[in-house]
Structure formats: C-alpha cells, structure tokens
Amino acid sequence: INAEYMGKTMGYDTVHGSSSTRDVVARAIDTEMKKRGLRHVYLNVTPEVTNLTAEELKEGYPDIYGHCLAAGVDMTKEPIPVVPACHYTCGGIPVDMNGATNVYRLYAIGETTCSGLHGANRLASNSLLEAALHGSIVAKHISTVLSPDKHTVEGIPEWQSGTAIRSKDQVLVSHHWDEVRRLMWNLVGIARTEERLLMAKRRIDMIREEIRKYYWHYIVTLDFLELRNITAIAESIIASALVRKETRGGHCRLDSEITITQPIVGSQEVVQGCGKD
C-alpha cells in the first residue's frame, strides 16, 4: 500500500496482490515510490487486515514488534513505513560441490556463489539452507586441505607507505562513500535501464580515478580501503548489468521486453578493467 491509498497492492499482481513473490512486490514498491516521489510506502499488518489479534502479532513477530515500537510505530495499530532492499547481484563466483573456487585455497559460500543451489531470484529459504549446507561442507573440506601444523601464512612483507602523507581531509572519503551508495540505489537498484546504468558507469569511473589518485598520495585507512572495495564491486555490478539485456529473476530491465525464466546453461564471464592501483 502507498501513502495515498491504504489498500491492497493491485495492478502488479492482480491475483496475489501484496502476497506476490518478493521480486514483484519490491518492483511494485520501487515503481510507486519513484512515480509519486515517496520516501517510503506502508505495510499494513494490523488485526483488521491480517485477522490476527494484537497478542498473536506480538507473539509471532516479537523482534519486529520491538524494533517498530522503538521507532515509535505500533504495528498492531498502524501501518509500518517500509522501503525495499535491493540485491544488486546474485551469484557469480563459480564453485564446485566443496565450495572451492578456481583460486587455490579460496572458498565462497552463499549469495556470492554460482553453486546451482539457487536461481536468479534469491529467496530467503534456499539462501539459509545453502549457507548452512555449504558452510558445513566447506569447513570439512578445508580441514583436509590445511596442514595441521601450518595455520599461519609466513613471508608477508610489512606495508610500505613510501612517500604518502596523512590526509587532513577525511570528508572526501565519506563523501564518495555516500555517493556510491546513493547512485547505486537510484541508478542500479531494483529496476534498471541502460540510460541509468550508463549514467552510473560514468560517475563510478570518475570516482575510481579520484580513489586511484588518493591511494598513491595519502596513507590509507580502513574506511578508505572499504570505499575502494565497494567502488570496485559497484563497477563490476554495473558492467554485468549492462551486458545482461533481459529481465531475469532479481535483475529487472525496464527497457527490455525479454524475460527469461529458464536456468542458465554454462556461464558468462564479464571482464572489465579495475584500474592499475
């Protein structure tokens, strides 16, 4: 439901309404927010809508009830302001049945992997089961690979700062961090178009160049390294989204009439430059 109409979500899935699959609901919310300039929509779980008593709601969802109450919202009496979360990418790193990648001793588990245990539309149930299953399998496999008498890595040289100096202006890091998050949400979020993606790519390219200059001139900090990492990931996500022209699972292209629901046979590799830093 949105801020103007406190009713069942219709027009996107006329059969299931707001009980539709989460990719449909998320796209519906995102569309309504952008169309009407809303900061959020409302989720109504009051007894009048759910046919659950206030006590049943409190007992069934104690954590959610507590969080809402702490924010000044009583979900048993009023709708909850909500915004959709975005899975910018789902899968991608090929792993075998032991969770091992093609890089020796590098393992991957869960949403970052292309394991064959989940599809393009990520669901909480198979996400949890996969993490639990592969977590156990990977731990056992690592124990067979890792030598029992060698649990440390030797020979790593000390970090050399060279001629770099300490920056007196940390606002540059916080500014770029905020900018990357905002442009990814606004331009590479739940529903994508080539125009939005290209706009995001141009800005990310500029930020990457500024980060490269900063890296060689100033002593790096943890916040800066995290900024560098999320910008590199953003660059890869945008490159992948531009290559995939169709709508598939959680990846929605508004400018394409092609929707593919069949599983991918084989894999497609996106190769892009990440700078020389």
Per-residue pLDDT tens, the chain, 277 aa: give them.
Answer: 554 443 444 467 667 777 777 777 888 888 888 888 888 888 889 999 889 999 999 999 999 999 999 999 999 999 999 988 777 777 778 899 899 999 988 999 887 888 877 666 666 667 777 888 888 999 999 988 876 666 666 777 888 788 888 887 778 889 999 999 999 988 998 889 999 999 999 999 999 999 999 888 888 889 999 999 999 999 999 998 999 888 877 788 888 887 766 655 444 443 333 333 3
Angle (CA) 109-114-118 rounded to 5° is 90
Q: Which two tokens stand for residue 269?
A: 């590799």
pLDDT of residue 264: 54
Q: Could you tell me the two tokens for 162? A: 């060279």
DSSP-assigned letters across all residues of 166-186: --S-THHHHHHHHHHHHHHHH
Give the Cα separation of 133 and 144 in Å (integer).
Answer: 17
- H/E stretch holding 81 reads strand 80-82
Q: What per-residue confidence (pLDDT) applies to 61? A: 94
Position 210 scores a pLDDT of 92
Residue 239 pLDDT: 94
Answering whether pTM is above 0.85, one says no
The amino acid that residue 62 corresponds to is P
Give the CA distances from residue 8 to residues 48, 49, 127, in Å, rounded to whole numbers and listed in that order: 13, 9, 28
For position 150, what pLDDT does the model report?
A: 60
Task: Please give the Cα distance from 107 to 102 (Å, whole number).
Answer: 9
253 is catalytic: no
pLDDT of residue 274: 32
For 245, list phi and psi in degrees, rounded to 5: -80, -20
pLDDT at 241: 92
**How far from chain centre, in Å, is Cα 195?**
21
Strand positions, DSSP E, 118-260: 191-192, 252-253
Enumerate residues 6+ apart whose C-beta is below 8 A from 249.
23, 90, 119, 120, 121, 122
